[in-house]
Amino acid sequence: MKSIQLSIILSLTTCSLAFAQIGINTSTPLSTLDINAKNPIGTASEIDGILVPRIDRQRAQSMTAIPISTLIYVTTIATGTQTGTAVNIDTPGYYYYTGTSWIKLNPSVNMYTSNGTLSSFRSVTTNGNPINFVNGTTTAGIISTETEGGFSANGSVRGTVSLSSETNTVNTYAEHGNATQLNVAGTTPKFSMGTTNSTPLVLKTNNSEQLTLLSNGNVGMGTNVPNTALELTSGTANTSGLRLTNLTSATPIAAGQALGVDAAGNVVTVANPSPTNVSTFSVNSITEANFNVNDLTATVVSGTSQSITIPTGGKALFINCMLGIDYISTPVGSGTAYYEARLYIDGVATDCYMRAQEVGISTNVFFSINTIKFLAAGNHTIDVRMQRTFNNGTNSGANMLCTPISMSFNASYLN
């Protein structure tokens, strides 16, 4: 047997010297060592292949002066330690020597213990299963189904989604026992939230829409179809829904225009009320001319006629008349007649009057008239007229000569 082995070695050596290439199962080797399978095709049961040295990890760790590219197969890692030249030997398999350590042939990269670099786009098909990253009770997950794609961050105290760019961050917190927040930090010049199409922006509470911003800029509170730049709908009749907490009825009056509402509820400016003043028309006299009174016509009391101009919009006129009359003559006939003093406006008798009975010659009587009358805008005339309303024995048409002994006739309105 030894002579046969020696013959093979000599034969190989001879081939090496002659051709500098060795072929096994081939007479025309294509490289330094060219091994062909004895049965390259078919159903033969004989074994073809190469067996490299098979050792345990301790043996690989104990080798010294190992040439680069040495190839071994580690059968077990139950022996030796993962240190020194065996620092990468963590599983059975093929290893080659790099000059400093044994490296696994075609090693599998474990994302839990090794970093890696993608050389191109990668896609993970989840088949509807979420991908979760779990640390105790904290979970961050990616949800991917046929109808939903989402990200979930769940913590026993806080769930957070954070976006950042250099010094700027946007953080969303859902915190146990505290307010849910959306915060912006950093040096960003603006925080913009909204839509890029004509879709309205809506805020809701208790699953009910409370504030709406339309694409035209109209804002509605209590309505989702605002017709003006800002429209409030309180939902309660005769209540605006707008309250100015620091501006009340006790606030001192300042210069400016007053506000009101039109028939549609729009807030409009209205004219400020002018300071109230009294416009008065007055006659006060004790020297007016005598005049005759009978039962046939109403005679204007001398000195009572006044012209009054009423401004636009009309005014309520406050009228007060105090008239003292002295009867001078004795009309034809007998008995004591009745005399009336009545207010006239624009020559038309009003329902404001006073009657008194004659009591004899050189006697006097007092008439008092007080009323409020609304007059339309324009020019008007007011006066007091007297007439005998009941002859009581006095001949009809007979005159009673009267002398005013006192007269105060005032008419006034508020501006």
Rounded percentage of the chain residues whose pLDDT exceeds 90 = 44
pLDDT in tens, 201-221: 999 898 888 899 999 999 989
Q: pLDDT at position 109, please? A: 67
Asked whether the beta carbons of 335 and 352 are under 8 A apart, the reply is no
Identify which of 201, 238, 411, 389 has the alpha carbon closest to the alpha carbon of residue 310: 411
Nearest to 301 by CA among 380, 394, 375, 369: 369
How far apart are alpha carbons 336 and 334 in whole angstroms? 7
**Residue indicated by tokens 């046969």:** 4
Buried b (16+ CB within 10 A) or exposed e, 363-378: eebebebeeebebeee
CA–CA distance, 304 with 344 (Å, rounded to integer): 10
Statement: the pTM of the whole predicted model exceeds 0.75: no
With vertex at residue 88, the alpha carbon angle to CA 82 and CA 94, rounded to the nearest 5 degrees, is 115
Residue 182 confidence (pLDDT): 87
The answer to whether 55 touches 97, Cβ cutoff 8 Å, is no
The predicted structure's pLDDT at residue 148: 82
- Encode 27-60: b = buried (16+ Cβ within 10 Å), e = exposed: eebeeeeeeeeeeeeeeeeeeeeeeeeebbbbbb
Rounded CA-CA distance 290/316 in Å is: 32
192, burial (CB in 10 Å: exposed 0-12, middle 13-18, buried 19+): exposed
Token representation of residue 198: 């004509």
Identify the top-confidence range among 11-20, 111-120, 231-240, 359-368. 231-240
DSSP state of 359: -
What digits encode the pLDDT tens for the residues 262-277? 888 888 888 876 777 8
Check residue 335 and give its pLDDT. 82
- Flag whether pLDDT at 16 surpasses 80: no
Q: What is the pLDDT of residues 66-78, one digit of tens each?
A: 999 999 999 999 9
On the question of pLDDT at 9 being above 90, the answer is: no
pLDDT band at 1 (very low <50, low <70, confident <90, very high): very low
Residues above pLDDT 70, as percent of the chain: 94
Structure confidence at residue 294 as a pLDDT band (50, 70, 90) = very high
Cα separation of 357 and 325, whole Å? 12
Average pLDDT over residues 294-311: 93
Sequence-distant (6+) residues with CB within 8 A of 281 are: 306, 308, 410, 411, 412
19 pLDDT more than 60: no
Q: How many residues does the chain have?
A: 415
Average pLDDT estimate for 297-319:
93
Across the chain, what does the average pLDDT equal? 87
Measure the CA angle with vertex 353, ends 351 and 356; round to 5°.
150
pLDDT of 14 reads 42
* pLDDT computed for residue 194 by the predictor: 87
Write a three-state SS string for 148-201: CEEEEEECCCEEEEEEEECCEEEEEEEECCCCCEEEEECCCCCCCCCCCCCCCE
pLDDT tens string 81-93: 999 999 999 999 9
From the list 221, 234, 232, the residue with the least C-alpha distance to 267 is 232
- Let me know the angle formed at the C-alpha of 386 by 385 and 387, rounded to the nearest 5 degrees: 130
133 confidence band (pLDDT: 50, 70, 90): confident
Q: What's the whole-number mean pLDDT along residues 8-25?
A: 60
Per-residue confidence (pLDDT) for residue 238, from 0 to 100: 85
> What is the model's pLDDT at position 20?
73
For residues 218 and 135, what is the distance between their CA atoms, to the nearest angstrom? 47
Residue ranges of alpha helices (H) inside 20-112 are 57-62
